[in-house]
Copies of this chain bind each other. A is one copy, B any other.
Amino acid sequence: MAKELKELTKRSENYSQWYQDLVIKAELAENSAVRGCMVIKPYGYAIWEKMQRILDDMFKETGHVNAYFPLLIPKSFLSREADHVEGFAKECAVVTHYRLKNAADGSGVVVDPAARLEEELIIRPTSETIIWNTYRNWIQSYRDLPILINQWANVMRWEMRTRLFLRTAEFLWQEGHTAHATSREAVEETIKMQGVYARFAEEFMAMPVIKGVKSESERFAGAVDTYTIEAMMQDGKALQAGTSHFLGQNFGKAFDVTFIDKEGKSDYAWATSWGLSTRMVGALIMCHSDDNGLVLPPLLAPIQVVIVPIYRNMEQLAQISEKVSGIVSKLKAMGISVKYDDADNKKPGWKFAEYELKGVPVRLAMGGRDLENNTIEVMRRDKLEKETITCDGIEAYVMNLLDDIQQNIYRKAYGFRATHIVSVDTYEEFKEKIEEGVFIMAHWDGTAETEEKIKAETKATIRCIPLEGDKAPGKCMVTGKHSKQRVIYARSY
C-alpha cells in the first residue's frame, strides 16, 4: 500500500507526468465528466481556501470590498471593446436556450426549441463587460470614485488542451475591477495590486517572482498595460502567477461610463482589473514538491503538523494518546493546525508515506521508548530530516520549525531560480540555452515581429519586461536594432 502511494513518476523522468500523478495521488483534484472541467477535491480545495482567506484580507486592507455580478453576459457586450472580443469570443460557452422538455421518443430530455433566447448569453470568461455596464449607473461624479471592488467567482474559457489547475475550462478566481478619476490613480492601483500579488506569492506561497510588464502581444485583451508576476517552475518553465491590468479608458468608452470631474468637465472613467486563480494551486505544487510528493509551505498547508503513534498494543496506544493530547492542546493554543492520526487500520509506515505525499510540513511520531524518555520524533517534510527531541517546550520548537520550513522552501526556490537565469547576447546561444530549461535575459528590439519569430522558432515567449534590475540598453540579439533593456524569455505554462 505504501509502495502504491509512492508510485509517482520521477521529476527527472517526466516532469509533466510527475505533476499529473501528484495532483491525483495527493487527492487535490481530478477530471470530471465535463470536458476540461475539474473536480477540486477537499484537500486541494483546503489549499485554495487558505489562499482565498489571505488574499481577501490583503484586498480589504488595501481598501477593497467584495460584490457579485452575473455569471452570464449578453453576447453583444463582448463586441463593445474591439480587442476584448478578439481575445475572448473564440473560446466561450454559449447559452442559447432556457428549457428542456421530454423527448418525444421517451429517451430523456431534449432542448425545447420554443425556449430559444432572443440574444445568446455567454458564461463569463472575465467580467469587465458586465461590470462596466453596471458601473455606468453608479458613476456620475468624481465623488463616486474610486470604486474598489473585488469578486470571487467561477469563470469559463473553452480551452482545448487542459491540465488540472493549470488550464481548465472552468476555474475559480478573484477579479478586481476598479474605476478611477485619473489615469495616474488607476496606474497606481494597477501597480499596487501587482505588489499585493507579489507579496502573496513570496511570503505565503514561498515562491519568488519577477515583477514586470507584458509585451503588447502578451497583454490582456483590452488592456493598455498588463503588469505580471512570473514564477519559475522546477523544469525552468515560467508560470504567470497573477496579472494586474491598466485598462485606460477602454471600458469607460465602450460602456459610456462618464463622470463630472472637480472642474465640472465630463470625462470617461479610468479602469483597472486584476486576477489570480486556482492556477496558483498548480504553481504551488510545481514550485516546491519533490519525488516523494507535495511540499507545502506551512502558511498554506491545510494540516501543518501530523502526529502518528507507534504502538504494540491498545494499552500502549492509550498511554501515547494521553501524552499526545497534551501536545495537541499546546500546538492548537499556538494557532497551529494539527491532526492526530490514531487510525487502527493503517500501519505507521503507510501513514508516514501518506503524509509525505500530502506535504504535511511537520510529522511527529511517538513510540514506547519516546513515552519512557519524554521524547518525540520530529520529521520536517522539506528536508526529510528526522531528529528526536524532548517533549518539553515542543510547541515552541514546532512553531520555530514551521517558520524555518517556510523560509527554507523560499530560499530553495530562490536558489534554484538564481542558477537558472542566464544572460545571453546572441540568438545562437539563446537557442541552445532555451533547451536547458532556463529563463533568458536578452535584448529585444521591441517589435512584435521579432517576438513572433523567436516564439515560432524556439517556443519561448517574452514573459515580461522586468521592472527591477538591469536596465541598461543594448542591441536586439535577433535584429541588432536598439533595445531599451533586457527582457525575460522563457517557455511557459
* A binding-site residues for B, Cβ under 8 Å: 30, 32-34, 37-42, 45-46, 48-49, 65-79, 85, 89-102, 108-109, 111, 120-123, 130, 133-134, 137, 143, 149, 153-154, 156, 158, 170, 172, 345
Contacts and interface: CB of A to CB of B under 8 A. Distances in A.
**Interface class of chain A by DSSP:** mixed
B120 A111 contact: yes
Given A32-B130, A99-B89, A71 B154 contact: yes
Contact of A75 (B32, B94, B100, B120): B100
Contacts of A40: 67-68
B100 A78 contact: yes
Contacts of A149: 42
A137 B33 CA distance: 12
Contacts of A65: 42, 45-46
Contacts of A89: 99-102, 109
A461 to B, nearest CB: 24
B66 A45 contact: yes
A458 to B, nearest CB: 30
Contact of A96 (B66, B70, B111, B158): B111
A137 B27 CA distance: 13
B100 A122 contact: yes
What number of copies of this chain does the assembly contain? Answer: 2
A302 to B, nearest CB: 9
A133 B33 contact: yes
B41 A67 contact: yes
A94 B90 contact: no
Given A34-B73, A46-B66, A65-B46, A79 B108 contact: yes
Q: Which 7 A-B pairs have the closest CB atoms?
A: A37-B70, A79-B108, A89-B100, A40-B68, A42-B65, A94-B97, A98-B158
Contacts of A120: 111
B99 A72 contact: no
Nearest to A131: B39
Nearest to A44: B67
B90 A99 contact: yes
A134 B38 CA distance: 11
B108 A76 contact: yes
A41 B137 CA distance: 13
B109 A121 contact: no
Contact of A134 (B39, B99, B134, B137): B39
B46 A130 contact: no
Contacts of A48: 68
Contacts of A102: 89
A99 B89 CA distance: 6
Nearest to A153: B154
A99 B109 contact: no
Given A108-B76, A109-B79, A154-B154, A170 B71 contact: yes
B66 A39 contact: no
Given A30-B137, A41-B67, A111-B120, 8 more contacts: A33-B74, A33-B130, A33-B133, A33-B134, A39-B134, A42-B67, A79-B108, A90-B99
A70 B100 contact: no
29 contacts: A32-B134, A33-B70, A33-B133, A34-B72, A34-B74, A34-B121, A37-B72, A39-B67, A39-B69, A40-B67, A42-B67, A45-B65, A45-B67, A46-B65, A75-B100, A75-B108, A79-B108, A89-B100, A89-B101, A90-B100, A93-B97, A94-B96, A94-B98, A95-B123, A98-B158, A99-B158, A111-B120, A143-B345, A154-B154
